[in-house]
């Protein structure tokens, strides 16, 4: 129940922040970073469900005619489900994953990104930000999950 509230609150806040940033011309996939981090640190199943629901909600808010965001966010959390919530290996991997996430999120609009220099520059900025933000998201989410005792490693692996 507590994990459900945790996911709901963060998803809502990040959805608003992300859509406002998008409206200002900045594509920073905050929801994707949160769901990827939460799928490894809190609950992969719940992260997958919330990624689907809030991804589709973002599609609705933006007036999209296809639920690309929902599918892409779900696809990003799926690896954690298959890896049974393994803790990510190293910081270098987190940087790399963070840089890759904006590329995956931009896949549905790949043609626009390839043909518009502004969109391509914005994507590169997102990749750089992603390399910084994903490790931060991992740190914040796992620490808060540990404090709230909703983390994956609290019970089974005895915490940190």
* Positions that interact with another protein (CB under 8 A): 15-16, 19-20, 22-23, 25-27, 52, 56-57, 59-67, 70-71, 74-75, 78, 82, 106, 108-109, 111-113, 115-116, 119, 122
User: Is 56 strand, coil or helix?
Assistant: helix
Least gap, CB of 110 to another protein (angstroms): 10
* Shorter beta-carbon distance to another protein: residue 63 or 89: 63
Residue 53 or 140 with smaller CB distance to another protein: 53
Please provide residue 65's backbone torsions phi and psi, each rounded to the nearest 5 degrees.
-95, -10
* Residue 156, φ and ψ in degrees, nearest 5: -70, -45
Q: Which is nearer to another protein, 45 or 159 (CB)?
A: 45
Closest CB 92 distance from another protein, rounded Å: 27
CA distances in angstroms from 94 to 37, 84, 88, 136, listed in the order given: 10, 18, 7, 9
Minimum CB separation of residue 86 from another protein in Å reads 16
How many residues make up the chain in this entry?
Answer: 160
Judged by beta carbon, residue 20 or residue 132, the one nearer another protein is: 20
Nearest CA-CA partner of 33 in 79, 70, 76, 93: 76
Q: Is 138 helix (H, G, I), strand (E, B) or coil?
A: helix
């Amino acid at each position: 129940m507590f994990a459900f509230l945790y996911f709901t609150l963060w998803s809502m806040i990040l959805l608003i922040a992300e859509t406002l940033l998008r409206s200002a011309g900045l594509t920073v996939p905050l929801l994707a970073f949160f769901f990827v981090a939460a799928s490894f640190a809190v609950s992969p199943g719940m992260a997958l469900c919330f990624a689907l629901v809030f991804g589709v909600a973002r599609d609705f808010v933006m007036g999209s005619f296809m639920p690309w965001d929902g599918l892409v966010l779900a696809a990003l959390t799926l690896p954690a489900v298959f890896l049974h919530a393994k803790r990510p290996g190293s910081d270098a991997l987190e940087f790399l994953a963070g840089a890759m996430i904006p590329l995956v999120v931009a896949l549905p609009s790949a043609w626009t990104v390839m043909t518009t220099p502004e969109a391509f520059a914005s994507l590169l900025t997102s990749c750089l930000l992603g390399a910084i933000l994903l490790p931060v998201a991992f740190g914040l989410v796992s620490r808060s999950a540990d404090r709230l005792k909703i983390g994956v490693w609290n019970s089974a692996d005895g915490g940190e």
